[in-house]
Amino acid sequence: MGTQNKNGNNHQKIVPFLWFDKNAEEAMNFYTACFKNSKINSRSYYNEESAKASGQPNGSLMTGSFTLNGQEFIVLNGGPVFHFNPAISLFVNCETEKETDELWKKFSDGGTVLMEYNSYPFSKKFGWIQDKFGLSWQLNFTETPQKIAPCLMFTGKQTGHAEEAMNYYMSLFKNSEVQVLARYEPGEPGVEGSIKHTRFTLSGEDFIAMDSHIEHGFTFTPAVSFMIFCETQQQIDYFWDNLTNGGKEIECGWLEDKFGISWQVVPENLNQLLSNPDPAKAKRAMHAMLQMKKLVIADLEAG
């Protein structure tokens, strides 16, 4: 899934980014213990500059990267600012019933059931659960190799926008296509013609989207964002300009698009710049980033 680039990094183009209060390391350890072929890739720590800006302890874990069966994730200890909800969940297709049962059991420990683990017309075995950290998972027995995909549920004021959003994202990212698309049929509990379930790829990576017309009382938040790794300033400008169109610029490379979904548009070597072995250079890079909305590679590298 990852692509090697001139900086020697090995990233997916788009990586789910999970915001925790202060238990990101515990979560990384838990998730990598739950899934096969999984590992923790890296950890970076708050320095004086970033600790002061965030209110986190100097020297504590800032971010970590890990892979679950080939799917990369990044976590952040960012304080109690944002909280997970089921608007964005992680959808797991499992190869065997035993594998699905075991994952359900692990996530049930301290978790909250959102949809009972059972047989349904659309699946031999399926369940939706919120784990002990608040992150939501949909576990599905499919008899296909295990695969994890972010699932975007368009609800509240975003209801009915799943197809528009999917088409918009596919227009921005290369190597994108619709794999499955099911609409609500007459008589089904949804608005006829809207998206019941769709699976599509962006830069070759799987995403799922659905419309929900039930009033859930939650919508997208920056607790789950998507980090886009860019090799050039031209790529940063392209994604930033397109995704902020109708949305809003935030700071430090963060933005919210017109559908309320959060993204981070960053250079491939951001982590190396912020964790430079030379503390003075790392501090200057962090200071520079804290002054920016859209990230400018030349300014980050100036230190």
Q: What is the pLDDT of residues 174-219, one digit of tens each?
A: 999 999 999 999 988 888 999 999 999 999 999 999 999 988 889 9
CATH C-level class of 3-83+221-301: alpha beta
d(CA 237, CA 297): 11
Nearest-Å Rg of the Cα atoms of the chain is 19
pLDDT digits (tens, 9 = 90+) for 52-106: 878 888 888 889 999 999 899 999 999 889 999 999 999 999 999 999 999 999 9
Q: For strands 254-256 and 262-267, give the pairing.
A: antiparallel
Decide which of 3.20.20.10, 3.30.720.110, 3.20.20.80, 3.40.50.720 is the CATH code for 88-211.
3.30.720.110
pTM summary value: 0.93
Write the CB contacts of 234 (distance below 8 Å, at least 6 apart in sequence). none
d(CA 288, CA 127): 45
d(CA 119, CA 127): 9
Listed by start position, the domains of the chain span 3-83+221-301, 88-211
Give the pLDDT score at 62: 87
Nearest to 241 by CA among 225, 226, 258, 260: 258
Nearest to 22 by CA among 67, 54, 70: 54
